Amino acid sequence: MLDKIIADVRQFKQVKIELDAAGRERLLQAALGLTLGEAENVFAKIIVKEERLSGDAVNEVFAEKQQIIRKSGLLEYCSTAESFANVGGLAILKDWLNKRSAAFTQEARAFGLPAPKGILMLGVQGCGKSLCAKAVSNQWQLPLLRFDMGRMFGSYVGSSEENVRRAIAVAESVAPAILWVDEIDKAFAGSQGSGASDGGTTARVFGTFLTWLSEKTVPVFVVATANDISQLPPELLRKGRLDEIFFVDLPSVEERAEIFRIHIARHQRPVEQFDLAALAAASRDFSGAEIGEAINSALYDAFYERRDITTESVLATLGQTVPLAKTMDEQINRLRHWAEGRARNASVWRDPLNPVASETRNLPS
């Protein structure tokens, strides 16, 4: 059908066809999941709107898929401009995802490579799990669909399970795609004892989702995030349902310096004017989200006082902040103990049971 459209428009000199082999593959990959009629309409719309057809037009194809998803009312299409350049640290996780960026192509299928199933990111709040889910969508050039478990539960017997099946069918219909299940620990909390609390509805919904994870053949990559391992059912953690479990810990001193650099540059300030080593050393036990908020607070203070932010003003803001890791020390230590030997560290190696010793070793000279 694409070849036919290209042949038809060649007679119009003002329309430029700029499709090399890689661009053609990107465009066809993006159109998978659309009917022939839907794909023909979106290609025609691109040609009329831009008077050219190239592999860079994938966002127009995703916009067509967005309409299909919106009509279902069960999944949320997340449009994002985030990239791995905006994610500080997590080098091992980013490398793992980068190596699978071409796994949905025709070349990968010809090589005999199975499509990756998904990952579970487990760790401390505010350390970049949700940001990574958005960045991988941009990196892989695949639509990101947010699976909100709250939308699945209906008031009638059997309607919740049917909603899950419909949501899965929608995700599969626009595949290849990324299905983002945020805070899956809260979504399925109490599934093991739901017979007494909700007549077993949560357990049945969870069972439907688990069965699909095990048996799916359509290229839908699942990105699940969780904060509390005590709420995670053991059935979810076994190999075969997801490819890997990553533990996302508080950022190391080098990672905090990188996070400061990203946030300072995002606010259009010259990074070289800030002492990143001093800021990283002063922000021990801070999460990435808390570092971002410290920069924001320093900006508010500077704007009120009609001056610009400096290293000293950010250090003052850090000194006034009590990080969540201090108030939730017991829970984070319990999480680290559980992750040791059970999950893969998302960052460069550091001893999860003795992060202070690792931090001292890594302090900049």
The string of pLDDT tens digits covering residues 131-143 is 998 999 888 888 8
Q: What is the mean pLDDT of residues 189-216?
A: 72
Q: Tell if the pTM clears 0.85, that is, is over it.
A: no
Look at the chain and count its residues: 365
* Amino acid identity at 139: Q
pLDDT of 351 higher than 60: no
Cβ atoms of residues 247 and 347 within 8 Å: no
Helix (H, G, I), strand (E, B) or coil at 146: strand
The string of pLDDT tens digits covering residues 73-91 is 778 888 888 888 889 889 9
CA 39 to CA 34: how far, in whole Å?
A: 6
Task: Locate 256 and state its tokens.
Answer: 């905090």
Using DSSP bridges, classify how beta strands 52-54 and 16-18 pair: parallel, antiparallel or unpaired.
parallel
The string of pLDDT tens digits covering residues 14-73 is 888 888 888 888 888 888 778 888 888 888 888 888 888 887 888 788 888 788 777 777
